Structure 1
Amino acid sequence: MIPAPFGLRYNETPTSQGELRARAQVLGQTEVNGGGICMMKCSQCGADLPDGAKFCHACGEEQEGTVGSGKGKSSGRVGYSEKIHDPAFQKYLKNTNRWSSIFAGGLAVIAVVGFFIAGETGAGGMENPESLYIGLGIGGMFLAIAFFQILGRKRSSTWDGVVTDRVVKQKRRKQSTGGDKNDYRWVNYTEYTVEIRSDSGKKHSIVVDDDDTLYNYYQVGDRVRHHGGLNSFEKYDKSRDSIIFCNACATKCDIGHDVCFRCGCPLLK
């Protein structure tokens, strides 16, 4: 039989705050106010934190899980979520396409009007109708970009695949330091790549610079589903995860939440 902690007998009700803290510390948790408020320990430095805290106020370490109420424990499930059929996703796509069109249309109008005025005033040695033609060309380019973005979302398909590899590479690139093309410096960066092969055999890659969040989120062998329109991936097994990415706007959320705090779409957990 395991001895009772700090001289407390089993089935004995502690009566003082000191006894409450002594018993709770053995369990890795601090209870105060008669057990009404729970605390947890930072996994990195051991500082006292409110139960369910996401980050340590002392060292800044992200907390993967908690003891006590279980707020930090994974509530993800095994299997693809049926919430993908929620009307919120269709509304999100509709709004995204609409705002893409509005934004591109606004830029096109600004380009046409701006170059027309420049041609009328002779700014930069430009004259109409040549200046107007340039504005129409640039405006048309903005509209074409928005059109192909919307078309790409509509044509993207849903497919299943598996994570086949994860690669980390140290690279460097040129970064401009002035107006002249020869004014640049070399900048080192880390490239994180997650390679996915669809069930049809096609290879896909998720590439992120200087951020290993997605790299650590996916493991080799994970089954994933690419959702058409959203162009995002959903893991099949989310039972061990503490975070989840919104499949609409890609915001990183806590696995315990049901909807994305940024766009309001359901989290596919």
Structure 2
Amino acid sequence: MICTNCGRQINDTAAFCPGCGQPVSIQSTNGSSQPTGGSIGYSPRISDPAFASYAKQNNSWSLIFALIIAAIAIIGFYIYGERSSEMDNPQALYIGMVIGGMFILIALFQILGRKRDKDWDGIVIDKLVENKREKKYHGNDRDSGWYWQEYTEYSVVIRTQEGKLHRVSDRNNTVKFDYYNIGDHVRHHGLLHSLEKYDKSRDTIIFCNACGYLNDISDDKCVKCKRPLLK
């Protein structure tokens, strides 16, 4: 068999080209064999219009939320300036406008970052378990003292075809850590900012690429957001 991407001769049973790393088409030699999990290969369902609609809706809600917070900040500081003896308007109003503008700018940068996110393919090269700690304060009053809170960070390290490293990490949660194995080929979908495994044939669970909700591999659509599952 020949790789259609780079032209290299590869073994008929290979799932990926050893030269360029691209997945190759795999056909079962036993017509009666049924997979116990999902499919082998990246799902063509990523082209479903439901995903583009979800991404657009997500960006819209981010901007609407930022506008609401900005309005609250502006109105709140204006009222504070009218009723407080410590600060008068328009100084208080200007501060509210600056804070509100910051929320809007943050939302716009987030939306722009999502739109610039590109697809890429990679492979899981390592899995890390790290015991860490962070400073926490007793209540909302920092004068009441602080303490160290310990946690365990579970990380999956992915190397792209360009050689860049990406890390998927969770605190005190091993679900994604157990879901990925070293050697797994994955694809990052820039539209949804999520990962898809190439080989899902042995999986019993699957993460929704839209909202990230954990589903059973037998489900056709996400039980939470109703978008198609890439299985």
TM > 0.5 fold call: yes
Counterpart Cα distance in 2 of 1:139 and 1:101: 12
Specify the SS of the correspondent of 2:142. coil
The offset of 1:75, in angstroms, is 3.2
Q: TM-score, normalised by structure 1?
A: 0.71
Which ranges of structure 2 fall in alignment gaps of 5 or more residues?
Answer: 1-34
Q: How far did 1:74 drift?
A: 3.5
- Taking the aligned partners of 1:84 and 1:127, their CA distance within structure 2 comes to 54
* Contact 2:118–2:189 (8 Å) recurs in 1: yes
Shift of 1:146: 0.7
Residue identity matched to 1:172 = R
2:193 is aligned with 1:244: no
- The AA in structure 1 aligned to 2:178 is N
Bigger-Rg structure (1/2): 1
Partners of 2:55 and 2:143 lie apart in 1 by 40
Matched residues, percent identical?
53
CA contact (8 A) 2:187 2:197 kept: yes
- In the other structure, the counterpart of 1:86 is 48
Partner of 2:109: 148
Deviation for aligned residue 1:185: 1.3
- Are the equivalent residues in 2 in contact too, given 1:74–1:255 (CA < 8 A)? no
Give the whole-Å Cα distance in 2 for the aligned partners of 1:181 and 1:148: 35
Structure having greater relative contact order (Cα 8 Å, sep ≥ 6): 2
- Determine if the alignment matches structure 1 residue 117 to structure 2 residue 67: no
Query: What is the RMSD of the two structures over their aligned residues, measured on CA atoms?
Result: 1.2
Q: Any residues of structure 2 matched to 1:64-103 within 5 Å, and which?
A: 74-103=36-65
**In the superposition, relative to structure 1, how do residues 213 and 131 fare at CA in structure 2: closer, same or farther (>3 Å)?**
same
Does the CA contact (< 8 Å) of 2:153 and 2:169 recur in 1?
Answer: yes
Gap regions ≥5 residues in structure 1: 1-72
- For 1:175, the equivalent position in structure 2 comes to 136
Query: CA shift at 1:182, angstroms?
Result: 6.0
- CA shift, 1:180, in A, is 2.0
2:5 maps to which residue? none
SS state at 2:166 partner: strand
Q: State whether structure 2 residue 184 is matched by structure 1 residue 217.
A: no
TM-score (structure 2 length as normaliser) = 0.82
